[in-house]
Structures are given as structure tokens and as C-alpha cells.
């Protein structure tokens, strides 16, 4: 039974009670109605029968007479898909430049009918459209989706074995009194999440080369694994003229492919960003409150102890990790690495 039917039955009970008691005031007091409501209910019942007991809400039936035209509504929805973070006034002004006249209130009305009032809902709509129709995304849309959903970044990276893709990034740790700014060169195997980190007082191409040459490559060679591709952002310490830039030259000498992110901003991918957030929450902020560092070497010693815990003792719940530690995933990924066929002897 619907709410309207329950109210109609209650009104009918009021009329029956008043007839039984022969006292309108007493019946209204028992049922919680006023005398004016009683006489209105009785008049509707006498005029329309049982249908008169149903509440009839005032207002127009069907579409509102001031609703925007269908073609304007389609233009608003299409623009909101292109620029999901623009507000109603911005949308109205941009559409006016395209010859579509609509007010900010009209834009909000269209969003309300399609459950798109919040920026979050409009970004979700863009993500659903991209998944369903595989529409080509502009650089702005990619940037918004990456900022809105870290998982969107990770969906763009498919790694199948250890060493297939290694990400590198520079992270500003802070300033050390008497030393200056401190930067962290982070290297991460995207398959196993095995991490390397070394602190420097500058972010130069030579620091990126140093961490790869001294820490990363020897570890991979020790386990008989070859690094196929290095992923970085478009920072100056990683990108430059291939025939002059130290980092580019080093990768060429090692036979490693260099891949950069499409979006030109200081980030590489969701894997490294998640590692930086973990380092901040579990190491740098904790150690910074309990230890007075006087040198970068002292900070490096504590960082290496934490990275050993991170790589060998800390279980991970990320995609494909299933509670394994990075070293367990690293070793398991070696067996899945395709073998390079040896050349036949002449």
C-alpha cells in the first residue's frame, strides 16, 4: 500500500468515526485533524467519491513549461563531458560564445535531472563514457581523471614480469639546516613494487644516473634480470637531447628504453606517487619528529633501514600483490620473465 492510499484510508476512517460519534469536534481531536480539514474532506468525498480522498499536489503535469529545449540540453551535456569541472555560470558563458543562450539556472536544472549537480558526479560520468565507448580524451580530461582517480593512472600501465617497467621520479623531502634542500631519487619496479631510494642535495641528471648505476642495475644484475624500460616524467633531470643529456646517454649505453608520461607535469605514475605518500606517512614524518638530522648521510641510513622493512617485511595490498612483500613478488616475477633466445652458432 502506497503512502497516498494510507492517507486516503485515514481520511475515510475520520468520516466513519464522526458519523459513529455524532460529534465532528471529538472525531477530529481523536484523528488529529481540524474541523476545516474535516469539512473539506467530506465535501471532496461527496463530490468525487473515494478518488476525492487522494491528495492532489498542485503544479503542472508533465515537463515544466520553462524547461530548456532538447537541443540546448544536449549542448549542456556535451560541454559538461568536455569540461566536467566547470561551474554552471562558466558553462552558460562558454555556450553563449557558441551561440547557445541559456542561464546558469538552466544549466543547473539540466544537471539536476541527470544527477550531475556535483563535480564528482560529472567526473564519474566522464570515466564511465571513456570505459564504455573508449572515446579519445583530451589532455585536460586525462589530467582531471588522473587527479580524480589514482586508479585511472594505474589502468594505463600493464606490467607482466619483473624488470619490464621501472619507474623513476624525484621527490622533494624538505630542507635540512646547514645543508639545504634534500631530494629523493625514487626507483620502483612496477611489477613487484620493489623500491630503491637515495637522497641528494640537488636534482640533476647525474643524480638520476647515480642511483640507477650504483643501486638499481647491480641489484637486477645480481638476480639475472634485465631492465627493459624506464618510465619517468618530463623533468629536466630525465629528458633532453638524446646525444647530450647524461640520463638519456646512460640509458642508451645500457640498452634500456626510455618512456615518458603523456601529461607534462611533475609526476610519473600512480605507483611512484603511492610510494611517496607511504614514505611520508610511515618514515619521513615519523623520523623527522624523533630524530635531529645533521647530514644527508644520516638520513640515508634511516631511509635504507625503512626500505629494507618496506621491501622484505611489509605486506602489500595493491593490485597483483595479494599480500606479498615486494621481494616475494620480485622473485616470482623472474620466473615469468620471457627468456631471450640465444643466437645459433654459425
> How many CB atoms are located within 10 Å of the residue 256 CB?
18
Same structural domain, 314 and 215: yes
Q: Is residue 192 part of a domain?
A: yes
Provide the percentage of residues in the chain whose pLDDT is more than 90.
27
Q: Of 121, 148, 175, at which residue does a domain stop?
A: 148
Q: Indicate the pLDDT class of residue 265, thresholds 50, 70 and 90.
A: very low
Say what the pLDDT of residue 232 is.
Answer: 87
Residue 266 pLDDT greater than 60, yes or no: no
Largest CA distance in the chain: 117
Does 62 or 319 have the greater pLDDT score? 319
Same structural domain, 92 and 27: no
Q: Of 148, 183, 212, at which residue does a domain stop?
A: 148
Same structural domain, 205 and 244: yes
Q: Of 102, 117, 148, at which residue does a domain stop?
A: 148
Same structural domain, 264 and 221: yes
For residues 175-188, give the mean pLDDT. Answer: 88
- 103/109 Cα distance (integer angstroms): 10
Q: Is residue 272 part of a domain?
A: yes
pLDDT tens, 199-246?
998 888 899 999 999 999 999 999 899 999 998 888 888 888 888 899
Say what the pLDDT of residue 338 is.
Answer: 52
Q: What is the pTM of this model?
A: 0.54
For residues 243-265, give the mean pLDDT. Answer: 81
Does 135 or 106 have the greater pLDDT score? 106
pLDDT tens, 296-313?
888 999 999 999 999 999
Range of the structural domain that residue 216 is part of? 166-335
Residue 145 pLDDT greater than 80, yes or no: no
Residue 95 pLDDT greater than 80, yes or no: yes
Range from 103-117, 152-166, 212-226, 305-319 carrying the lowest mean pLDDT = 152-166
Mean pLDDT of the chain: 83
Q: Is residue 346 part of a domain?
A: no
Residue 76 pLDDT greater than 90, yes or no: yes
Q: Indicate the pLDDT class of residue 57, thresholds 50, 70 and 90.
A: low
- 89/119 Cα distance (integer angstroms): 14
**Nearest CA among 161, 171, 224 for reference residue 194:** 161
Residue with cell 473539506: 40
Give the rounded distance of the alpha carbon of 307 from its chain centre: 27
Same structural domain, 132 and 258: no
Same structural domain, 176 and 230: yes
Q: Is residue 309 part of a domain?
A: yes
Cβ-proximal residues to 277 (8 Å cutoff; 6+ apart), any chain: none
- Enter the C-alpha cell of residue 312: 622484505
C-beta of residue 28 within 8 angstroms of C-beta of residue 14: yes
Cα→Cα distances 331→57, 186, 225, 310, 336, Å: 69, 20, 10, 15, 9
Q: Indicate the pLDDT class of residue 1, thresholds 50, 70 and 90.
A: low
In this structure, what CATH number is given to the domain that contains residue 213? 3.30.420.10
Residue 156 pLDDT greater than 80, yes or no: no
3-state helix/strand/coil string of the chain: CCHHHHHHHHHHHHHHHHHHHCCHHHHHHHHCCCHHHHHHHHHHHHHHHHHHHCCCCCCCCCCCCCCCCHHHHHHHHHHHHHCCCCCHHHHHHHHHHCCCCCCHHHHHHHHHHCCCCCHHHHHHHHHHHHHHHCCCCCHHHHHHHHHHCHHHHHHCCCCCCCCCCEEEEEEEEEEECCCEEEEEEEEEECCCCCEEEEEECCCCHHHHHHHHHHHHHHHHHHCCCCCCEEEECCCCCCCCCCCCCHHHHHHHHHCCEEEECCCCCCCCCHHHHHHHHHHHHHHHHHHHHHCCCCCHHHHHHHHHHHHHHHHHCCCCCCCCCCCCCHHHHHHHHHHCCCCCCCCCCC
Same structural domain, 321 and 236: yes
Same structural domain, 186 and 309: yes
pLDDT tens, 79-92?
998 888 899 999 99
Please give the radius of gyration of the chain, using alpha carbons only, rounded to the nearest integer: 33
Residue 263 pLDDT greater than 60, yes or no: no
Q: Is residue 63 part of a domain?
A: no
> Number of folded domains in the chain?
3
Q: Is residue 343 part of a domain?
A: no
Same structural domain, 178 and 298: yes
Same structural domain, 188 and 290: yes
Most confident of 121-130, 143-152, 241-250: 241-250
Say what the pLDDT of residue 285 is.
Answer: 87
Amino acid at each position: 500500500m502506497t503512502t497516498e492510499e494510507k492517507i486516503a484510508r485515514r481520511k475515510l476512517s475520520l468520516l466513519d468515526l464522526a458519523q459513529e460519534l455524532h460529534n465532528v469536534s471529538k472525531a477530529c481531536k481523536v484523528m488529529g485533524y481540524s474541523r476545516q480539514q474535516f469539512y473539506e474532506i467530506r465535501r471532496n468525498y461527496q463530490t468525487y467519491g473515494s478518488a476525492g480522498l487522494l491528495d492532489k499536489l498542485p503544479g503542472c503535469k508533465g515537463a515544466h513549461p520553462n524547461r530548456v529545449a532538447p537541443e540546448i540540453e544536449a549542448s549542456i551535456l556535451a560541454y559538461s563531458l568536455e569540461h566536467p569541472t566547470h561551474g554552471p555560470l562558466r558553462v552558460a558563458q562558454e555556450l553563449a560564445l557558441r551561440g547557445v543562450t541559456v542561464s546558469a539556472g538552466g544549466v543547473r536544472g539540466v544537471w539536476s535531472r541527470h544527477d550531475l549537480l556535483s563535480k564528482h558526479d560529472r567526473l564519474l560520468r566522464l570515466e564511465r563514457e571513456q570505459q564504455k565507448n573508449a572515446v579519445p580524451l583530451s589532455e585536460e580530461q586525462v589530467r582531471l581523471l588522473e587527479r580524480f582517480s589514482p586508479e585511472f593512472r594505474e589502468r594505463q600501465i600493464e606490467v607482466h614480469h619483473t624488470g619490464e617497467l621501472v619507474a623513476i621520479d624525484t621527490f622533494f623531502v624538505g630542507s635540512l639546516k646547514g645543508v639545504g634542500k634534500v631530494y629523493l631519487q625514487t626507483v620502483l619496479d612496477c611489477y613487484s613494487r620493489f623500491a630503491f631510494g637515495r637522497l641528494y642535495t640537488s636534482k640533476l641528471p647525474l643524480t638520476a644516473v647515480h642511483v640507477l648505476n650504483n643501486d638499481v642495475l647491480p641489484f637486477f644484475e645480481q638476480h639475472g634480470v634485465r631492465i627493459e624500460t624506464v618510465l619517468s616524467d618530463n623533468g629536466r633531470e630525465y629528458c633532453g637531447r638524446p646525444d647530450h643529456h647524461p640520463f638519456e646517454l646512460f640509458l642508451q649505453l645500457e640498452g634500456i628504453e626510455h618512456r615518458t608520461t603523456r601529461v607534462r607535469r611533475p609526476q610519473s605514475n600512480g605507483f611512484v606517487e603511492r610510494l611517496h605518500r607511504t614514505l611520508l606517512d610511515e618514515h619521513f614524518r615519523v623520523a623527522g619528529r624523533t630524530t635531529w638530522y645533521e647530514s644527508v648521510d644520516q638520513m640515508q641510513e634511516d631511509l635504507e633501514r625503512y626500505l629494507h622493512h618496506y621491501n622484505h617485511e611489509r605486506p602489500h595490498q595493491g593490485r597483483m600483490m595479494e599480500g606479498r612483500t615486494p621481494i616475494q613478488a620480485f622473485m616470482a616475477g623472474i620466473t615469468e620473465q620471457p627468456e631471450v633466445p640465444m643466437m645459433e652458432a654459425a
